[in-house]
A and B are shown apart, each in its own frame.
Chain A
Amino acid sequence: MEESKQTTSTTDRFRSLLDIVKMNISDYFMFFALVVIMIFFTITTDGVFISSRNISNLINQMGYIAVLAVGMTLIIVIRHIELSVGYLAGFLGAFAAIAMTFWGWPVFAVIPAVMVLGMLAGMLTATPVAKLGVPAFVSTMAAGLIYRGALLLVTMGTGTIVIRDPIFNAIGNGFIPDLPFLSGFLPGRHKLTLIFGLIAIIWYIISAIRGRKTKQSYNFAVPNTGLFILQLVIISALIGYIAWILSGYNGISWSLVILLLVVLVFQFITTKTPLGRHIYAVGGNPEAAELSGISVSKITYIVFGAMGLLSSLSGIMYASRLRSATTTAGLGFETDAIAAAFVGGVSAAGGVGTIIGSIIGALVMMSLTSGMNLMGIDISIQYIVRGLVLVLAVVFDRITRRNR
């Protein structure tokens, strides 16, 4: 009797492990796909793709789309869509350029002002959606037209506005400084980047061990020690490798700093706080959420406000990267952000999708662009490939989710 009990629990445990792998296959799949894509381009470009310089560039190019993808994920999670973010980013970039160039505002006043403006714009777009149930598709498309007109209007007299502020321009082009007194050690490497990498590893290991200890103090099952150490080693190695690659060029860029901050804040909010839970609840079943005491319209305002804020960041990053505000800034950003979110596993049916997933989605799309550029593939083919990858990712997601 005792023996048969033992066997069941072992098979149960094995089955539950298999179930966990099966349940999460679509969560990990895109990460594996990203690794495969990166290895593929590394081989086809004789290692140029994985070079420090290219990875650094790739991240800077990705930044202004990735921050939009973070916001877009939440928008799609609550069953809406935001088509105005590209033009809003373009318009706010131009606003920042005008404020600095023509009005002489200091950069440290311009950036917060633009961010507040972005948030208000997002909430304004959300008003017909939250209060009257107007489809977000219509409301945000209308807003996009308005911002596009506004962008053309403010740049009508001048055309492209050149930005000369060095601090502003560093956002899209600059890197964090290195430690001068360590110049003899590891020549050609960015030391502060390596130190930050090390800090990140230590912080990760400490918080992982702490989380495990807390779980144990609750008498909850934890993965066995071997598996746990394996997980620590793999993730630490990954962080270390990324830091090592980045240190080989100019180190961590300011774009990456902004992106990491955005990801950290939004990852924290979505996974650890009641607000995050409420957002997913509204996406999963708005009526049930409302009857659970969650104000759907409040959540709608918050998510669109956050999207507006991130649009302003995107606009700042893009204008800074080009060192100017152009009449076509922001064109098509919304499409790239939506694509990144869907490649990253967000579901249009609502309630499903993670911040990390969308960042991986953005990395996949940007790696494709970068890799194919390096291989000298024509832009026409690039569009087709990216389209195919998008549809394949969503189809795969659909198939793996259906079996749950």
Chain B
Amino acid sequence: METPILEMKSITKEFPGVKALDNVTFSVRTGEIHCLVGENGAGKSTLMKVLSGVHPYGTYDGEIIVEGELQKFNNIRESENAGIAIIYQELALIPELSVYENIFLGNELTNGMVIDSNESIQQAVEILKKVGLDVNPLTKVKNLGVGKQQLIEIAKALKKDVKILILDEPTAALNETDSDNLLHLIQGLKAQGVTCILISHKLREVLAIADTITVLRDGKTVVTLDAHKDLVNEPVLIKHMVGRSIDNVYPKREKLPIGKETLRLEDWSAFSYALGRDILKNINLNVHAGEIVAIAGLMGSGRTELAKSIFGNPDRYRVSGKAFINGVEQKFRDPGEAIKASLAYVTEDRKGNGLILIDDVKHNITLANLKEITEGGVINENEEILVANKYRTQLNIKTPSIQQKVRNLSGGNQQKVSLGKWLFVNPGILILDEPTRGIDVGAKYEIYTLMNALVQQGMSILMISSELPEILGMADRIYVMSAGKINGEMPAEVATQEAIMELAVDY
């Protein structure tokens, strides 16, 4: 038996009031792709932060052994020097700097005191080859897509002598093509002898690529499986992750006859001043009461822009065309007017523009509809508590109290707060933008069940999603967008992943 490249023994890490990691043991063999899966809050990211020195030696119990040597990392630099590089879910590039400047950021190549640009650019070209990225190193990072930015992050990590590369949800923000590229790259790195640890919620990816899979649940190691010997498939992994088996990932809904038309767009186009081009072109679509309509499409196809342009156009696109809400033409000047007309929009980026992270659960839930709990100009804080508790119970939001700051909740629970906030508006049309991105399987199921219940009550749901199984599992009707246009429409019964993809990549 060879020595593992990495052993983490009996790691325990406590935060005030929470045991994030409880006696976790984690062992990685040299040259393998080791996937770490688990629900949100299971401790995956914390474990990697312990490994990379974000949580320094002394703040946790247990031992980290790299290539047989006990390591006591005090910061990220020390772990980097030991050959461990970590790439976070949120990209850490400087948009205004060029590709090569980003790659060498913090480790600039110098001639004495001056940066040696020529040498840097030359080396950058070599490093970019390693990740199979063909871009001019002088391009500013902001001009590249998310997929390419992700590759630059990896290139940045690879410029040093990396032995263990940790990727935390690298494909969360990527479309299928970019995801596939990234997975190929990881396999290529493995061939070059780099050991990879991959954290992912996308089990299909994990199954496609992993040599070994470790499942964490509630801060404990549940199981470590050998992907080549043990029986591993999605149901098995899900069972380990949640501790129970979910027979039906997508809850069945009794199909009711659809109601009247609630939303219709006619020749809806939008021009973005910021980008200097048309982002939506002659879109025609409709949604009915009691219906879940999905918008499929690749990243950048204009789905979120479509949602925002309907929802009061906060980004100030130049919009043309007609929008009818419940049969009446509307020209909203801001999201406030859209909300008044019974629209609600749960954003794709709950941390960025969905929630007030530094505020508590109850204030976030009531924010969009304060007038409901205001009497004589004064907010009735007791009513507010009742409202917040109602949604906490109804949506099963796991929080110590409604006074808890939202930033302390896990992703799935934050998403539920976001949903609660918009349900309190009592909308007729609910726009959900990536409703289950980055949240765990259990919470996903709860959200799907809720969506079904809402349309049963006659609400209209317009769902934007990048996950094809989710679209096929939940929607009644599917529009596929590409390059700002609707490329096709199909009922869910006849739709297949292949059919949707074909339309989505057809420019």
Contacts and interface: CB of A to CB of B under 8 A. Distances in A.
A in complex with B: yes
Interface of A: 15-16, 19, 214-215, 218, 220, 272-274, 277-278, 280-281, 284-285, 287-295, 351-352, 403-404
Given A15-B17, A277-B379, A291 B367 contact: no
B335 A290 contact: yes
Contacts of B368: 292-293
Given A274-B379, A277-B367, A295-B334, 20 more contacts: A16-B401, A214-B382, A218-B385, A220-B382, A272-B378, A273-B374, A273-B377, A281-B356, A281-B359, A281-B363, A285-B355, A285-B356, A288-B356, A290-B314, A291-B353, A292-B335, A292-B367, A293-B312, A293-B339, A404-B408
Nearest to B345: A291
16 contacts: A16-B401, A19-B17, A214-B382, A220-B382, A273-B374, A274-B377, A277-B363, A287-B353, A290-B334, A291-B311, A291-B345, A292-B367, A293-B337, A294-B336, A295-B334, A352-B358
Nearest to A23: B403
Interface of B: 16-17, 311-312, 314, 334-340, 345, 347, 352-359, 363, 367-368, 370-371, 374, 377-379, 382, 385-386, 401, 405, 408, 421
Contacts of B312: 293
Contact of A404 (B354, B401, B405): B405
A26 B406 CA distance: 19
A99 B421 CA distance: 52
B352 A287 contact: yes
A273 B374 CA distance: 8
B356 A272 contact: no
A15 B16 CA distance: 11
A291 B347 contact: yes
A101 to B, nearest CB: 40
Contacts of B359: 280-281, 284, 351
Nearest to B333: A295
A288 B370 contact: no
A272 B386 CA distance: 17
A351 B385 CA distance: 21
Contacts of A278: 370
Nearest to B383: A218
A240 B385 CA distance: 34
B19 to A, nearest CB: 14
Nearest to B334: A295
Contacts of B334: 290, 293, 295
Nearest to A15: B17
Contacts of B336: 293-295
A295 B337 CA distance: 11
A26 to B, nearest CB: 13
The 4 closest A-B pairs by CB, nearest first: A293-B336, A287-B353, A284-B356, A274-B370
Given A218-B386, A285-B353, A291 B379 contact: no
Nearest to A288: B353
Contacts of B370: 274, 277-278
